[in-house]
Amino acid sequence: MNPAFQGLLTIIIGVGGCIGYFYFSNQFLDKVLYPAKGPKAGHNINRANQIRPWLFLFPAMFALGLYLAYPVFATLWYSVTDRDQGGAFVGLANYRQMADDPKFWEALKNNMLWLLIVPAASTAFGLLAAQLTDRIWWGSFAKSLIFMPMAISFVGAAVIFKLIYDTRPVDQSQIGVMNAVWLQFEGGIGSFLILRLLPGLLMISAAAAALYVAYSQVTTAMEKRGTAFILLVRGVFIAVLVWIAYSTLALALGAFTKTYPYGVPQQWLTIPGWNSFLLMIVLIWIQTGFAMVILSAALRGIPEETIEAAIVDGANPFQVFFKIKMPQISGTIVVVWTTITLVVLKVFDIVFAMTNGQWETQVLANFMYDKLFRANDWGVGSASAMVIMLLVSPILVWNVYNARKEMR
């Protein structure tokens, strides 16, 4: 069958089937099941109106159950069975095998690093862009440019940045922007400021931020003890933050002690440590536009009277922003932050297209892909998929909770 005709036939059957389902199901409800006539007409109309919404929800609920709920339970089952033994139940053997793999811990470490940096940077840059673009006459055009990367697929963005990080031999012109700039450094004061001081301070700032959040969690736990489960979750979170602070401080030390090969083009994506940050830049570039649009709408929703009153009382622009605007949009900031966090936990395309997890850039989703489709190890691959789901689920629930709270 001709592909064009097949596609047209699929559309006709799909659309016709939807129309037919809604028409005949409502006819059956109103004419057969609960007819609006006779002594119970009023009762039947009320019952039909109670059931009718479920008729419209059923196709979506069925599709979600078939394409979402079933794969989750199937993946859970695969994670505790061995395909090579005919699907025999092996308990937690796949999880133990996964835990013994160094690449799993590398992927988990990198995911935690992505989790710390990408949502924070995307939200901060998005908030900054939202605030500044509202102040200039060409703000709408600027917002369009900043939002444009959202229209690019992750793979397309990865290809663009792979060209930026491209390396050519020494005797050839560098088409990669990074190497074109790199070759301008010769070890002088400019090299020290940009290659040592700036990244070192950024890493120290990231470590300080992680330790500050850990300290705030400790003080909160001491003031509000809560249940044993809450304390356990807080304890794990604090441990992860301390580990992240240690890792970023190690990178800061490396920035000050590393010997740089000036005058030689660099294979940027093969340098462990820094290559992960170069991959993160791609996702930050994409997600900043999303954060900007949501936060810009929140900023526009702040009553002008509040801002005018603060200005009359002598508040400067920084005080207005941090003490008036930020508290009023804190709920939106949390929603944006957690939404980007969900994207980060599932990041795959960028790593797959740029490094394929080599040179210590492995992440959980790419690790899962390698085990499932390269090593053909469905047990360990499914176990890693369950780990990703367990990491995503609490944040998803928290995001839904905050969204409903905002609506109320």
pLDDT of residue 407: 66
pLDDT of residue 402: 66
Question: Per residue of the chain (408 residues), what is the pLDDT tens digit?
Answer: 677 888 888 888 888 888 888 888 888 888 878 887 777 777 778 888 888 888 888 888 888 888 888 888 888 888 888 777 777 787 888 888 888 888 888 888 888 888 878 888 888 888 888 888 877 778 788 888 888 888 888 888 888 888 888 888 777 777 788 888 888 887 788 888 888 888 888 888 888 888 887 887 788 777 766 667 667 777 877 887 888 788 788 888 888 888 878 778 888 888 877 788 888 999 999 999 888 888 888 888 888 888 788 788 777 777 777 777 877 887 788 888 888 888 888 888 888 888 888 888 888 888 888 888 888 878 888 888 888 888 877 777 776 776 676 666
Please give the CATH number for the structural domain made up of 80-154+273-408: 1.10.3720.10
Contact 35, 48 (CB under 8 A): no
Spatial distance between the Cα atoms of 16 and 18, rounded to a whole number of angstroms: 5
pLDDT of residue 187: 76
pLDDT of residue 226: 64
Residue in 352, 163, 39 with CA at minimum distance from that of residue 367:
352
pLDDT of residue 408: 65
The domain segmentation of the chain, as residue ranges, is 3-67, 80-154+273-408
